Amino acid sequence: MLYQLFSLGASAKRGFGLDVMRAAAILIVVDAHATIALNEYYDGAFWHFLLPDGVELFFVLSGFLIGGILIRTYEKNGRFDWGLLLNFWTRRWFRTLPNYYLVLGGLVVLALLRAWRSGMHHTLPPGPTLAKYVLFLQNFATYIPDFFPETWSLAIEEWSYITLPLVLLMLHATLKNRWSHRRIVLATILTIILGTNLLRIVIALQTPISVGELGFRGIVLTRLDAISYGVLAAYVKQYLPELWTNTRLNRQLLITGLTLTGLVAFSSSVFIIGYYYNWGLTPAYGMYKRTLYFPAIGLSMALLMPYMDNWRTAAGLWARFGIARAITHVSLISYSMYLLNLTPIMINGLERIPTTSLAVGWIKVIVFWLLVLVSSTLLFKFFERPVTALRERLSSKEPTQLTNERMSE
């Protein structure tokens, strides 16, 4: 009975390599939030400093999947117009908005109920600030408030889904009689990457180093290029298939990508900040984290895509002991895990329990993981998947190759 309750019945057509990437991304994110339960007993495990940024991996993977759909739609129809644009947005928003608004509404109701029970004023942000969450404006030009802070990355993705096809629409309308589709797609990607990086550099030069670099990571206007590195990988797959399917090249790119991703992650980790200070490189580090870090980590992770995309099925150890099934399961529920793990479960639940010892902290970590996995599975199975299926009745199907793309953001 429990197996039927939590079984998701994943399709055999899913690409296993992409599932591995998505599962790795969400597990890194949730693992980082799990350390909150340890409070002062967390000793900053060294291996954490070697892990890449799970959110950045999500950006690249989403860009690859969504960019691939957009490019194939463009090529299949031979044009890109408002009808295709609205269909693209409809399918994206049916995938992301219902879950988001359900959790957002639940947090608002929870805060109001707690205020009613305690007889005190609620802890929600002011009305105008709360209203920004409805339109993903909570971190459009400033860093996100303390309420539901993890949605900074979702806002960046949603606005990227708006700007990317709009730029394609504009360039197609302007250049369709002079440029090939391939050239227009590349110009679209480079316009967003170069434009956003230029804006980020200008703002970075105008902002004192003492302000720090966190806002640059979590503000929509300075991160519109976040998914474009994955879209660039989708461009290579579409227009240079002989390179994309080259097994030897894919392995070389995988090794290079893993090495560069690890080096970039370590170069920006908390562990090494003290060394930058001792070496007198703090200003240079601040500028690096505001500017070059983002294309460096994005391009490094994009190098992983050819190998992972061509890794279609699980074999060997991956297929044993339920490992492949577990990875696919986590990949499927990753969006629900993203929405539920930090604010609903950790901040509004477990963090309210004092961590009085290391043992208590680890018990909270275990309970946290169980709650995240169980609640995310139920949310996906009984709400996210059924609501996402409604879009098939309200929109036209897009050209896809794998189930991963049908369930992508």
pLDDT tops 90 at residue 209: no
Residue 215 has a pLDDT of 75
Q: Furthest-apart CA pair in the chain: how many Å?
A: 69
| Cα 321 to chain centroid, rounded | 28
Q: Give the C-alpha distances (Å, rounded to integers) separating 79 from 72, 76, 85, 351, 399.
A: 11, 8, 11, 52, 14
Contact (Cβ atoms closer than 8 angstroms) between residue 68 and residue 234: yes
This model's pTM is above 0.75: yes
pLDDT value of residue 45: 66
Q: Please give, one letter per residue, the 3-state secondary structure of 198-266.
A: HHHHHHHHHCCHHHCCHHHHCCHHHCCCCCHHHHHHHHHHHHCHHHHCCHHHHHHHHHHHHHHHHHHHH
The residue type found at 151 is T
Please compute the mean of the pLDDT values over residues 41-48 and round it to a whole number. Answer: 71
Place of tokens 């205020």: 115
How buried is 197 (Cβ within 10 angstroms: 0-12 exposed, 13-18 middle, 19+ buried)?
middle
What is the structure's pLDDT at 42?
82
- Which of 338, 358, 398 lies closest to 35, judged by CA? 358
Determine contact, residues 159/220, Cβ cutoff 8 Å.
yes
What's the pLDDT at 121? 79
pLDDT at 51: 78
Identify the pLDDT of residue 122.
80
The 10s digit of each residue's pLDDT in 119-151 is 877 888 999 999 999 999 999 999 899 999 999
> What is the spatial distance between Cα 393 and Cα 279, in angstroms, rounded to a whole number?
60
Please spell the DSSP secondary structure of 293-330, one letter per residue: HHHHHHHHHHTTHHHHHH--S--GGGGSTTHHHHHHHH
pLDDT-derived band at 408 (thresholds 50, 70, 90) equals: low
Query: Is 60 exceeded by the pLDDT of residue 406?
Result: no
Q: Does residue 403 register a pLDDT over 80?
A: no
Please tell me the distance from the alpha carbon of residue 119 to that of residue 115, in angstroms, as a whole number: 6
Average the pLDDT over 380-405 and give the result: 82
Gap between the Cα atoms of 196 and 59, Å rounded? 15
The pLDDT, as a whole number, for residue 123 is: 81
Confidence check: pLDDT of 359 > 80? yes
Span 46-87, pLDDT tens digits? 666 677 899 999 999 999 999 999 999 999 999 999 999 999
One-letter amino acid at 181 equals: H
Tokens 């995310």 -> residue = 376
Contact indicator for 149, 80 with CB cutoff of 8 Å: no
Looking from the CA of 262 toward its CB, the CA atoms found within 13 Å total 9
Q: Which residue has the higher pLDDT, 94 or 46?
A: 94
Indicate the average pLDDT of the chain: 90
